[in-house]
Structure 1
């Protein structure tokens, strides 16, 4: 009598494995993500972005078993349940966590860079240069322990459009204080607007301290002093 039960259990297990094996590739496809109407704007911005060849799960699901279980299975089922039976979050208030480990997996070389060559910068930032250490920022974020990381500055790189003639999306701090202020096309009070309004001065405000030193709010802290004045105020 026990043998048929064992066969049934094995059959159920194999069936579940086969179903999962078919479902995972299907749910990994960006168009599956876009089937939720409140995610559609994010999908439409992604297909126009510099990361359009990178699938959603590459950034939003951490590698490894823990990442698959929490970021893919648990979060995915939760989103589906909310979409079918609850009230989906408004598109302008969506938030997603992208681990810095995922970003560094592709962009590790940036940690060795303390000065970005002008030839590698988008215009017009290339006119003023960029002197900053990404590694120092990542180490500072880790010490602050406030969940900051790559997306603290680069959250808009995939799901926003370039502004003011830039060919790529860059942190707003590079253009926040020039003669033509930029304001994002998101409703007041939404999380996406708050995120888009973040700039270098969220930390470099002349008041915040790190390791006993005030973080300067002068633009020449990160840009070439003899160029920055003309760039900002002409």
Structure 2
């Protein structure tokens, strides 16, 4: 047979299997690369096949061809030496390359052309594979169940256009290698289901924020205050609007003439010791002044001993100590409802819609489908029972509100990973988390008697406030609580009430769904 003669030693089952694998893998790579180039769609599992499985299959197949040929050649040579086969021709110990012989010359040319094609395909696949491992679809969608909460939160955050690796890896080969080694451990954990649920934070050995965040948000550019208006709505029948107009004292760093405000913290060397892994309990703080003198502040309620201070891990404060959720942001049901009122996605005129929605969203559900069913039934049934005229006249608005509230759940609750909006507290501010008050609690004192102040005006100034308990036209200078709680406003942290039991407790209490 001509084909068998041309193939020579490669005419064997092992080499033929290798050829079939190599040709199949090559065609699959070309087809899938073309599909991606034409459609522009990145699919994580398709990428896994195109950039890892098929190139591996191609290399394995090509390795089988010479292995099979060498095996056949060795067997024939051994048979001739032992006299078990007729000596048709001498088979030397090593193959000869005689280009004067047409069949071998053609085979050699084929080998060169095939090698060039192989190198091109593998090179393209390797480059695209590297690019794929740097993509957000690889990081967030490949391990769907595990990373669904973080990927969903990222996709709805201000950093949704920033790739995961730009923050979690950053530039440089050293951190890239560290990330891939860490990724192998994570892959093992996913494969054998040994990962914790929910995923623990903060992440150990995360690259310092100064190497990543400050590529875009360098401290020197912060130099002034920023006005911000906070829109809230009361959980009452009319969903009454509330508004706080505030000047945020962002400030600058000691490297600038505006060495005051919030960002003073990262312009000054501040170190602290946390008693817990979550960094909620901070009993010790050390601040280096401009003259190099270090001032130590100790929690007067639960101070550390000198030995504990000496042995304790002192962390240098950076962006992530306050901006600990810069991208993977989960919002409370109350905050989500406020934003949906402002955007017009939910009709504010629906009676008690905020309170009803917060109550339904805050219930414990075993699965997302159970939550979807409860919300889809709970909203319409409430209006049919308590506001039949509204149920009839605003049916479309109620239906749209129901869909939006289900979306709120899908963005902030993930029963499969035991994650809810309150699982990962955000330290910016102090409403749902101790945040600023971890240090600014009025209880951290230096040996000289200096106290880290709890004065709200250090960070922000209230310019104006509109609320149901503030007479129209009244100019307020300090924050007014919607309910008169007396001195508790200054004695108790906001999060002590608003995160009671890990639930979103509104200013009027969560209670039960109101009845008309």
Tell me if TM exceeds 0.5.
yes
Check if 1:117 corresponds to 2:117: no
Report the structure, 1 or 2, having the larger helix content: 1
Partner of 1:153: 322
| SS of aligned partner of 1:156 | coil
| SS of aligned partner of 1:115 | coil
Check if 1:106 corresponds to 2:245: no
Partner of 2:451: 214
The question of whether the paired residues in 1 share the 8 Å contact of 2:442 and 2:454 is answered with yes
Offset at residue 98 of structure 1 (A): 5.5
The question of whether the paired residues in 2 share the 8 Å contact of 1:95 and 1:191 is answered with no
Partner of 1:61: 169
Partner of 2:461: 224
Q: CA separation of 1:230/1:135 partners in 2, compared to 1, >3 Å: closer, same or farther?
A: closer
The question of whether the paired residues in 2 share the 8 Å contact of 1:111 and 1:135 is answered with no
Check if 1:127 corresponds to 2:236: no
The question of whether the paired residues in 2 share the 8 Å contact of 1:100 and 1:149 is answered with yes
Give the length in aligned residue pairs.
204
CA RMSD across the alignment: 3.9
The question of whether the paired residues in 2 share the 8 Å contact of 1:98 and 1:151 is answered with no
User: Which of 130, 138, 145 lines up with 2:266 in the alignment?
Assistant: 138
Matched residues in 2 for 1:78 and 1:69: separation?
Answer: 13
Offset at residue 200 of structure 1 (A): 0.6
Matched residues in 2 for 1:63 and 1:103: separation?
Answer: 12
Offset at residue 136 of structure 1 (A): 2.0
TM-score, normalising length: structure 2: 0.34
Relative contact order higher in (CA < 8 Å, ≥ 6 apart): 1
| SS of aligned partner of 1:31 | helix
Matched residues in 1 for 2:198 and 2:442: separation?
Answer: 34
The question of whether the paired residues in 2 share the 8 Å contact of 1:128 and 1:231 is answered with no
**Which deviates further from its counterpart, 123-132 or 44-53?**
123-132
Partner of 1:51: 159
Offset at residue 15 of structure 1 (A): 10
The question of whether the paired residues in 2 share the 8 Å contact of 1:29 and 1:55 is answered with yes
Could you report, residue by residue, the CA deviation over 1:1-40 in whole angstroms, capped at 9, with x for unpaired residues? 9xxxxxxxxxxxx999776534321111212122212111
Matched residues in 2 for 1:95 and 1:143: separation?
Answer: 17
Offset at residue 152 of structure 1 (A): 1.5
The question of whether the paired residues in 2 share the 8 Å contact of 1:115 and 1:131 is answered with yes
Larger radius of gyration: 2
User: Which of 429, 440, 451 lines up with 1:204 in the alignment?
Assistant: 440
Report the structure, 1 or 2, having the larger strand content: 2
Offset at residue 57 of structure 1 (A): 0.7
